[in-house]
Chains A and B, each alone.
Chain A
């Protein structure tokens, strides 16, 4: 049990985290939760937010995860090496996710400004056309992502090991 559980954080083009972890903290549609070794099997929808990984070795890692799914799979270990006879495998799938350390703060800041401007400068109801609302929706998504990135990155230095 001291080994923690197998954790994978995966995006469509990259395996971001692939290491044994002691704890995983994230927010699902039902609220904040922490996954520890031996957690019941679970499938959950993860809402956009900051995810913290406490690896077995090394310092906690923060990620900005822009929505995704979590699968916890605790089942009898095939090779039976765990003391409880159970092995926990955790997979976090996200369309977009990035490590806090890898976030380009300048870029996120610019993106936030651009998106905010787009929303602010949007013309009031051109009711005959659907296009503006779609655009605005995209800008709102962009804004939310930029803010989440900044939050994830901005807090990093304030977090000593």
Chain B
């Protein structure tokens, strides 16, 4: 019986150790992906800032199109885009975005607005299907290494619905990558474009030199073609850029979250192995002690029997 416990523990230790090897491998892979994802965010920055400057310029250029810039007061048809990953094993990464999305949906429903869901990532599909929510459109296979073409596909879908007046507000829930140690779930407005001339707080990333420029220039800028036409061409492209940046940041965040989760799992496995080893050693010692007792007891009994 005692030998049985020891054997069972030994098997358990071996299994924990092999799990540890797997989590360790995932951790290392994720760590290398973070660096790559970070570089891609950095490479995207000039484009993102350039686009923000142009949008600002166009927004300042005149009344343009009210439908395209600003925030609707009481949107009745809302589309919400949620960006998560295709795979799990990334700690709270997927669930925190999905929970934020869910509460946003409830908030809109409460004011009688119609909500459509557009999702990126396999995990979102499973989550919403399980809860019986209709997903209007879902994209998968882009979370690991999003390309600009991916962003285009998502943006085209959103633009199509917005342009056809099917929706009057498009919001995005995704994870923003602040640093390797900090990622936040954020909700931003995609369409209409949030007014960049107003309080710059909402968007977070505002071009650093833009405000001074606009003041210094005294507001004279030519547009080719005229502002309205230009804004109409610009919006879908600006949307693509926003979506692409969000995809890149989400991807970097996912890798960071996975690395953390897997590092924690590896550490846990270490502790577990240590604990199990101790228990196993004790069991083995007990078994040996027992055996000695039995032998001594047996010898004693024999001697007594002989002496008698």
A and B part of one assembly: yes
Inter-chain contact B44/A45, CB cutoff 8 Å: no
Tell me if B122 is interfacial: C-beta within 8 Å of chain A: no
Q: How many residues of A contact B (CB 8 A)?
A: 28
Q: Is the CB of B225 within 8 A of A15?
A: no
Contact A95 B237 (CB under 8 A): yes
Minimum CB–CB distance from A128 to chain B (whole Å) comes to 20
- The answer to whether B225 and A30 touch across the interface, beta carbons within 8 angstroms, is yes
B58 partner residues in chain A, CB cutoff 8 A: 43
C-beta contact mask, B178-220 vs A, less than 8 Å → 1, else 0? 0000000000000000000000000000000000110011001
- Contact indicator A95/B46 (Cβ below 8 Å): no
Q: Which residue of B lies closest to A69 (CB)?
A: B54
The yes or no answer to B165 lying at the interface (CB within 8 A) is no
Contact in complex: B240, A14 (CB < 8 Å): no
Q: How many A-B residue pairs have CB under 8 A?
A: 89
- Find A75's partner among B216, B229, B241 (CB 8 Å cutoff): B216
At the interface, is chain A mostly helix, strand, loop or mixed?
strand
Contact (Cβ within 8 A) B213 A93: no
A10 touches B233 (CB 8 A): no
Query: Can you offer 15 A-B residue contacts whose CB atoms are under 8 A?
Result: A8-B50, A12-B244, A13-B148, A15-B43, A28-B224, A30-B224, A41-B220, A44-B222, A45-B229, A69-B51, A71-B50, A71-B53, A73-B213, A73-B217, A95-B152
Q: Give B contacts to A, CB under 8 Å.
A: 40, 43-44, 46-47, 50-51, 53-54, 57-58, 61, 148, 151-152, 212-213, 216-217, 220-225, 229-230, 233-234, 237, 240-241, 244
